[in-house]
Structure 1
Amino acid sequence: MKKSLIALAVLAASGAAMAQSSVTLFGIVDTGIGYVNHSIDAKGNDTGSRYGVGTSGNATSRLGLRGTEDLGGGLKAGFWLEGEVFGDDGNASGLNFKRESTVRLSGNFGEVRLGRETTPTFRTSLKYDVFGATGIGQFMGYRDWAGNKIADSDGIRANNMVSYSSPNFNGFTANISYAFDEKAATFAGNNKIGRYVGGNVGYDNGPLSVTLAYGTIKSAANFGALGSDSADRDEVELGASYNFGVAKLTGLAQQVKYKADNVGASGKFNNYMIGVSAPVGGVGEVKAQYAYYDQKGFNTKAQQLSLGYVHNLSKRTALYGTVAFMKNNGANDNSLGSNLGLQAKGVYKDAVAYGQNQTGVQVGIRHAF
């Protein structure tokens, strides 16, 4: 009898603990067929048109686990592990959690996160890009403009990050993040490569949204007057949107500036974007976006026009189609984010020849679970 009572007590305690915590498996599988013209490979060889099955044309394919535990008194602990999935080859190199790998503690004070995640500056771009920072229509302002090929020097994510997000105060929120370099890489004698400091402040209330963000990365530069040297990559962004009901208007202004540690010259890249999205028939959405890249670091310019349509078959499944055009001037080599194998190899700048325009088309299916 006593053993039965003990067993029941253990079972009850276990049930109570299980009720206070949860783990969720989630993901997106987005695969389609794409085409881009005037493509060159990583070695600069002209491959002409490129077409085939690609991934993440409408939303980044991903697989993840997230969980929370209620600690009582409004305090919660949690984790988030998320990796990118390549629908075209099934992740030939294996799944990792480089999209996000954080542990969290939240409460009335806000939330603290530790690990690898997106930077507060990139979250601003992601928030106002009507193409969700993926596919051939996406805003291409986030690049490794200096071409130094050091990990995460595009400013999208950072390792070893400590982040704090404030509670929502009548629509106002703020975030500040610091990423330790841990002397993981050196360049031109600088052992602080990878160190990131940044934050954002935003207002989201009703149809209006406004966000201002700033971040700086200890990076490197290998272009123009800077030559090869360690450098600070400073980023500032201002984004806004307004939902009129029949359509949502978005806009973004971004500046990326490199300033070398040992050279007085600097490289500056001013990028602008305006977009609009509108619901169609209760099951679809049309999207249009124009981006202008004033690349003073290369003394050249580029323009991008993107049009897309998403047709929802259910709450979790959609068909989509996107067409985009990139016009390059002078010695510029901006390419579209086709995800036909180019971006998976880290080749953004080398996807087209200098001064060459590029047109792309994508159609596919997206399923979330």
Structure 2
Amino acid sequence: MKKSLIALAVLAASGTAMAQSSVTLFGIVDTNISHVNHANGAGDSLTGVGINGNATSRIGFRGVEDLGGGLKAGFWLEAGHNPDAGDGASGGAPAGSGLMFKRRSTVSLMGGFGEVRLGRDLVPSYTKVSSYDVFGQVGFGSFQGWKNWEGATTTDSDGYRQNNMLAYYTPNFGGFSAGLGYGFDEQVSGKNGRYMGGFAAFDNGPLSVTLALDRRDIAFPVVGVPFTGKKDMVTLGGAYDLSVVKLNAIVQQSRYKADGLSGSDKFNAYSFGVTAPVGAGQVRVQYALYDQKAISSKAHQLSLGYVHNLSKRTAVYGTLAHMRNKDASNLGLGGGGIGNGAPGMGENQTGLSLGVRHSF
């Protein structure tokens, strides 16, 4: 009888402990058939099985433990994967590699004060404001304002993610929220790779507005010669939900300045998008202008997409996008997942994707 009571007590204690912590396996698989004309400077076309047309393929583990008194601890490990080839090439890992948790690898403490994170993650100056891209920063239709314009050689110089980062996110105060981040360069000499930035946002009812600022110390070429310097970025994004349609807009400037040199290279980017529910799906339309003042050239991108939800987890989609380059502009459509590059200066590029996305 005593052994039975002891066993029941152990089971009860174990059940309490399990109720205070949880671990979740999650992921997305997104694959499509894509075609791009002018996939390179020679004018060749490319057709194949692409990835990440509607969402980035990934697999991850996340967990939360209730420490009591309103304090929680959490972890998040997320790796990109390539369903086309079965390796970890998607999400920052090199082609042919296994899973590498390059998308996010953090540990955090959460409570009434907000959340403090340590590790590799999306930078705060990108997390919120990038949501105003109606194509979710994936596929041929994605807004390319966060492009590595000067070809910086420093890791993560595109501005999406950061190693060695300490970040803080506030609670929501009546619609107001903010986030700050600092990425250590961890070098004995020099400071390439260092990041600092943040955002302030307001979400209340149909209106959402976010201002984001950041600075990244990088190495980049100036007239073909490597220099060290800074990349400063300011982004203003907003959305207004009219129920029938939702309006989204982004205004952004990237500025590169080499150490010891006067002046800077500027790249301005703008987007305006509209989404509308249609039955079990959603129509997406977006126009983007890339005013590359550093080379006195512009590019215009027009994108049209439709996502049809077959269930809460599965959807089919189609995206058609066109990039029109002017003068010395040489931008290709990003995010196609079939290896398409730039079409050549002043050349145009059109891409079409038809795919399926499943989340778990």
Give the TM-score of the pair, scaled to structure 1.
0.92
Match of 1:260 among 253, 258, 265: 258
Q: For residue 36 of structure 1, what is the aligned residue in structure 2?
A: 36
Alpha-carbon distance in 2 for matches of 1:125, 1:72:
33
CA drift at 1:124 = 3.7
Q: What's the secondary structure of 1:39's corresponding residue?
A: coil
Instruction: Check whether the contact 2:153–2:218 (CA below 8 A) recurs between aligned residues.
Output: no
Alpha-carbon distance in 2 for matches of 1:309, 1:142:
24
Instruction: Check whether the contact 1:146–1:220 (CA below 8 A) recurs between aligned residues.
Output: no
> What code does the residue aligned with 2:229 have?
A
Q: For residue 171 of structure 1, what is the aligned residue in structure 2?
A: 175
CA drift at 1:6 = 3.6
Alpha-carbon distance in 1 for matches of 2:151, 2:248:
29
1:363 to 2:360 alignment: no
Alpha-carbon distance in 2 for matches of 1:12, 1:338:
50
Match of 2:342 among 348, 351, 361: 351
> What code does the residue aligned with 2:32 have?
G
- What are the residue-to-residue correspondences of 1:206-225 with 2, within 5 Å? 206-224=205-223
Q: How many residues align?
A: 352
Question: Cα distance 1:125–1:37, how it changes in 2: closer, same or farther (>3 A)?
Answer: farther
Q: For residue 149 of structure 2, what is the aligned residue in structure 1?
A: 145
1:301 to 2:298 alignment: yes
Q: For residue 201 of structure 1, what is the aligned residue in structure 2?
A: 200
- What are the residue-to-residue correspondences of 1:38-187 with 2, within 5 Å? 38-40=38-40, 46=42, 48-91=44-87, 92-183=96-187
CA drift at 1:7 = 3.4
What's the CA shift string for 1:127-157, capped at 9, x where partnerless? 1000000000000111111113321001110
Instruction: Check whether the contact 1:113–1:164 (CA below 8 A) recurs between aligned residues.
Output: yes
Q: For residue 346 of structure 1, what is the aligned residue in structure 2?
A: none
The gaps in structure 1 that reach 5 residues or longer are 185-189, 344-349
Q: For residue 93 of structure 2, what is the aligned residue in structure 1?
A: none
Instruction: Check whether the contact 1:285–1:311 (CA below 8 A) recurs between aligned residues.
Output: yes
CA drift at 1:159 = 0.3
CA drift at 1:338 = 4.3
Q: CA RMSD of the aligned region, Å?
A: 1.6
Question: Cα distance 1:171–1:125, how it changes in 2: closer, same or farther (>3 A)?
Answer: closer
> What code does the residue aligned with 1:243 have?
D
1:291 to 2:291 alignment: no
CA drift at 1:3 = 4.5
CA drift at 1:353 = 1.3
Q: For residue 276 of structure 1, what is the aligned residue in structure 2?
A: 274
What's the CA shift string for 1:291-335, capped at 9, x where partnerless? 000111222111100000111111111110000000111111111
Q: What's the secondary structure of 2:316's corresponding residue?
A: strand
Q: What's the secondary structure of 1:182's corresponding residue?
A: coil
- What are the residue-to-residue correspondences of 1:241-256 with 2, within 5 Å? 241-256=239-254
Give the TM-score of the pair, scaled to structure 2.
0.94
Alpha-carbon distance in 1 for matches of 2:100, 2:247:
35
> What code does the residue aligned with 1:82 have?
E
> What code does the residue aligned with 1:12 have?
A
1:228 to 2:226 alignment: yes
